[in-house]
A and B are shown apart, each in its own frame.
Chain A
Amino acid sequence: MKISQLVEVLEGKVVCGEQFLDKEVQYGFASDLMSDVLTLDSDKLVLITGLNNLQTIRTAEMADIECVIFVRNKKVLPPMIEIACEHEMVLVECRFSMFNAVARLSTAGLKPVY
């Protein structure tokens, strides 16, 4: 699916990377623990997290993750946007709980990694 579709089902707000909404994503991984994220090697992965700090962005950078969804109404902070823009990531804020967001994404066709 395209990132734009995912933003739609989450009724999300794109805070960075507006120009990359046509990129394709295939897998989703939901976690607030970054070392678990760093064990994955899937491409076209979306990270769904409630952790809104710089390490979330650094983790996405190291793991080549191009799209991060922040659930539970967590706000993306300015230093995060700066690094995310530099690495051409899409950051999306979403007011739903992790469970709700993940259920919607799964219904929309995003696949689990394992």
Chain B
Amino acid sequence: MKFKYEIEGGNFSKAGNASSEVKKILKQLNVPPPIIKRLVVALYEGEVNVVAHAWNGCIYVEIEPERIDVKIEDKGPGIPDIEQAMQEGFSTASQAVREMGFGAGMGLPNMKKNADQLNISSKVGKGTIVELVIFLNGKR
């Protein structure tokens, strides 16, 4: 099963709508709750990153019997130093983003913690692609 969602940069009133939809689908499919939580927490962090840091983006979710693949692709400023961005506490979030409750610099590390595989690629001035995989049969 494949799903696609669009994300508007800067629009915090819609941030989380896609993750919420995906959560509903996974519940209907009777995916175990701990796996749902890991996936939607990682997905939501990724969705909020597009809203907070990029101009616009797309989420692709593919659900198969053994795995869930997520790709979050955005047009935006990109990440100049991915290793630095992955460190806990590193954040370039604006004051406006901090007022929305984000900017702890915990999103990317938390995505890494929750996903079985995480891959980030980025081009400065163009955009970022975050891909993550969660296995459904406990194979971590």
Contact = CB atoms under 8 A, between A and B. Distances in A.
Interface of A: 32-36, 38-39, 41, 51, 53-56, 58-59, 61-64, 79, 83
Nearest to B91: A35
14 contacts: A33-B103, A34-B102, A35-B45, A39-B113, A53-B12, A55-B48, A58-B16, A59-B101, A61-B16, A62-B40, A62-B41, A63-B41, A64-B33, A64-B37
Interface of B: 12-13, 15-16, 19-20, 23, 33, 37, 40-41, 44-45, 48, 100-107, 110, 113
Given A54-B12, A54-B13, A61-B16, A35 B33 contact: no
B37 A55 contact: no
Contacts, number: 71
Contact of B37 (A34, A35, A63, A83): A63
**CB-CB nearest 6 A-B residue pairs:** A58-B16, A35-B106, A35-B104, A34-B101, A33-B104, A51-B101
A105 to B, nearest CB: 21
The secondary structure that dominates the B interface is helix
A35 B16 contact: no
Nearest to B110: A39
A38 B16 CA distance: 13
Contacts of B16: 54-55, 58-59, 61-62
Contacts of B40: 62
Contacts of B48: 34, 55
A55 B110 contact: no
Nearest to B40: A62
Contacts of B15: 54-55, 58
Contacts of A58: 15-16, 19-20, 44
Contacts of A56: 101
A64 B113 CA distance: 17
B126 to A, nearest CB: 25
Nearest to A55: B101
Given A55-B48, A62-B37, A62-B41, A35 B110 contact: yes
A39 B107 CA distance: 9
A58 B33 CA distance: 17
Nearest to A54: B13
